[in-house]
């Protein structure tokens, strides 16, 4: 999570998006030519197990034009090639909160909690994410944080508070799992700044013992979930912004992160837990993630424990954190070249070690979180992370946030700065709001299920962004189109390596505040294409039955 106060008040007025594409702010840095990830050419349905690809596929005509733009296409043309595949999609997620606090019990009435959970997992369709239910090493409350004992190999359960894990299980998973939420993982993080300042003191005295005690703390969380709830997830998250941003390790040394990975993995194996892999390092920036992830992956002792490279889209005011900057760059057909270049390096690291990348946090877009600007901006952001970083997953900030939590954390009930969170809850009204982030994720997550594969999709208009996917078992093609033009646009979509075999359906969102309106089913003009009219500023998801 981020330190900066993000939540200040819920503005119910939906804003009309400025669909006209403003000029991008000039960048004094010499633009870096982004390389397009080289796809795999297939003669049949795609193989979805591989995340590996090598550069270069098709060149971009300009370093500031989208990589999915092709000058050989007319401005009204879109081309989808189902025989050219990229990454496998793992899903869409967030940090998952229970909104239950020690001493205060369940802060949401049962009916309001049920509405919120249904909105997050049933409607938006989140399937991935870290559970905010870490055990606190303390014999009592937060003010009593301390080592459980002096033996890092003997866990004293009286020295751990398990209520956060219990709250997540009883007040979130019990409701969310029946709605399909099954891609969760633990976030038992090493956090010297807040959760365990005593670890910092120990580090200064005995570095080896510090590593063992930190590993014990992480192992305690995993063991508790295994022994109490029978849960040993595929992944776990031992760090969140360890060196940058939150600086949760209170350190600037990547080698310390490497040492902690070695210690944690060894302790888990000692406890008979040898299948869990780590989502690392979840640094504040792409550059910070590249530095720390490279250190971990380049070391043979730690490489085998990495399951996912996680990264955040900060710093604040950057082109992918700030919504207006996002709309003025990528939304104007001119993605920020430095941001694209960083994601290209991240993609190359992923390719080198055959490890998927996930964008695991973004927030603080500095717009009303319920506005159409926020929605279109985050839809563009999802497109860009999937295309430029070849991200296999995209996360919002939190699954939900309510006025009570806002009061506890920031001293006011105002939710208007909670941009990035998927669902907001006004307990006083009471009412549940799906945010712009939630609606944007839904345009993808409701149709693109885990195991789907991104395929080649090109546009002849830099203001028309497009991504396409083959769903598991090659049942459907899903095409997501973002019309950033200030006027309606008629397009012709042509398909290669695929034939359309049924009626086209889907959903569409239009300004100022119309979301997920069902597309009236229609037949394609031919087995290889159809035409459609896209309203100005709209986001449209088409679902097309097809035969490879």
DSSP 138-176: -SSSGGG---S-S-TTS--GGGEE-HHHHHHIIIIIHHH
420 sits in the region (left: phi over 0; alpha: psi -120 to 50; else beta) called left
Please give the Cα distance from 159 to 48 (Å, whole number): 44
Q: What pLDDT sits at residue 41?
A: 35
Please give the Cα distance from 243 to 261 (Å, whole number): 14
Q: What's the residue count for the chain?
A: 548
Element (H, E) at 255: helix 254-270
Q: What pLDDT sits at residue 102?
A: 80
Q: What pLDDT sits at residue 64?
A: 58
- Tokens encoding 30: 């010499």
CATH number, domain 99-445? 3.20.20.80
pTM of the model: 0.90
Q: Do residues 399 and 124 lie in contact, with contact meaning Cβ atoms separated by under 8 Å?
A: no
Element (H, E) at 270: helix 254-270
Q: What is the DSSP string of 179-245?
A: GT--EEEE-----TTTT-HHHHHHHHH-HHHHHHHHHHHHHHHHHHHHHHH----SEE---SSSSST
Q: What pLDDT sits at residue 101?
A: 87
Q: Do residues 134 and 1 lie in contact, with contact meaning Cβ atoms separated by under 8 Å?
A: no
Q: What pLDDT sits at residue 457?
A: 98
List CB contacts of 147: < 8 A, sequence separation 6 or more: 137, 159, 198, 202, 213
What's the Cα-to-Cα distance from 434 to each of 28, 65, 418, 444, 545, rounded to whole Å? 38, 32, 12, 15, 29
Please give the Cα distance from 448 to 466 (Å, whole number): 14
Q: With H, G, I as helix, E, B as strand and everything else as coil, classify residue 4.
A: coil
Spans of the chain below 70 pLDDT: 1-64
Q: Do residues 389 and 348 lie in contact, with contact meaning Cβ atoms separated by under 8 Å?
A: no
Which one, of 193, 290, 289, lies nearest residue 246 by Cα? 193
Please give the Cα distance from 417 to 427 (Å, whole number): 17
Topology of 37-89+453-547 in CATH? Immunoglobulin-like (2.60.40)
Q: What is the DSSP string of 305-371?
A: TEEEEEEE--STTSTTTSHHHHHHTGGGT---HHHHHHHHHHHHHHHHHT--EEEEE----SS-TTS
Where do the domains of the chain lie?
37-89+453-547, 99-445
Q: With H, G, I as helix, E, B as strand and everything else as coil, classify residue 8.
A: coil
């Amino acid at each position: 999570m981020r330190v900066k106060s993000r939540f200040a008040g819920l503005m119910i007025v939906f804003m009309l998006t400025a669909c006209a594409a403003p000029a991008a702010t000039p960048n004094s840095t010499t633009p870096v030519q982004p390389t397009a990830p080289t796809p795999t050419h297939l003669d049949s349905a795609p193989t979805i197990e591989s995340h590996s690809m090598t550069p270069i596929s098709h060149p971009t005509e300009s370093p500031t034009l989208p990589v999915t733009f092709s000058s050989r296409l007319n401005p009204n043309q879109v081309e989808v090639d189902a025989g050219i595949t990229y990454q496998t999609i793992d899903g869409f997620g967030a940090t998952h909160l229970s909104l239950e606090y020690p001493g205060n019990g369940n802060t949401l009435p049962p009916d309001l909690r049920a509405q919120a959970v249904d909105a997050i997992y049933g409607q938006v369709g989140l399937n991935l994410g870290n559970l905010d239910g870490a055990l606190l090493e303390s014999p009592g409350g937060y003010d009593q944080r301390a080592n459980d004992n002096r033996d890092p190999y003997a866990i004293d359960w009286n020295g751990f508070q398990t209520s956060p894990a219990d709250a997540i299980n009883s007040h979130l998973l019990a409701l969310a799992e029946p709605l399909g939420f099954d891609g969760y993982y633990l976030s038992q993080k090493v956090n010297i700044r807040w959760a365990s300042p005593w670890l910092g003191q120990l580090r200064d005295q005995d570095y080896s013992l510090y590593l063992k005690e930190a590993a014990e703390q992480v192992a305690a969380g995993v063991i508790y979930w295994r022994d109490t709830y029978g849960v040993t997830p595929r992944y776990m998250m031992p760090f969140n912004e360890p060196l940058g941003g939150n600086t949760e390790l209170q350190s600037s040394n990547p080698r310390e992160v490497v040492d902690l990975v070695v210690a944690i993995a060894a302790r888990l194996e000692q406890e008979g837990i040898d299948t869990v892999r780590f989502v690392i390092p979840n640094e504040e920036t792409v550059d910070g993630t590249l530095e720390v992830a490279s250190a971990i992956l380049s070391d043979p002792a730690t490489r085998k424990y990495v399951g996912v490279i996680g990264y955040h889209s900060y710093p604040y005011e950057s082109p992918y954190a700030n919504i207006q900057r996002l709309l003025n760059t990528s939304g104007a057909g001119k993605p920020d070249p430095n941001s694209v270049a960083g994601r290209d390096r991240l993609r190359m690291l992923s390719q080198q070690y055959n490890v998927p990348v996930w964008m695991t946090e973004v927030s603080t877009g500095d717009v009303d979180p319920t506005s159409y600007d926020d929605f279109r901006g985050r839809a563009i952001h999802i497109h860009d992370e999937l295309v430029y970083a070849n991200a296999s997953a995209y996360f919002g900030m939190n699954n939900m946030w309510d006025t009570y939590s806002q009061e506890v954390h920031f001293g006011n009930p105002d939710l208007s700065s909670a941009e990035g969170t998927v669902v907001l809850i006004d307990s006083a009204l009471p009412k549940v709001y799906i945010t712009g982030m939630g609606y944007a994720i839904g345009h993808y997550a409701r149709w693109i299920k885990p195991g789907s594969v991104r395929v080649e999709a090109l546009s002849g208009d830099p203001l028309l962004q497009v991504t396409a996917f083959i769903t598991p078992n090659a049942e459907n093609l899903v095409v997501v189109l973002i019309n950033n033009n200030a006027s309606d646009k008629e397009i012709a979509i042509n398909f290669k390596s695929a034939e359309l075999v049924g009626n086209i359906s889907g959903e569409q969102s239009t300004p100022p505040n119309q979301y997920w309106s069902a597309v009236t089913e229609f037949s394609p003009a031919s087995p290889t294409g159809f035409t459609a009219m896209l309203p100005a500023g709209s986001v449209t998801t088409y679902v097309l039955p097809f035969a490879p």
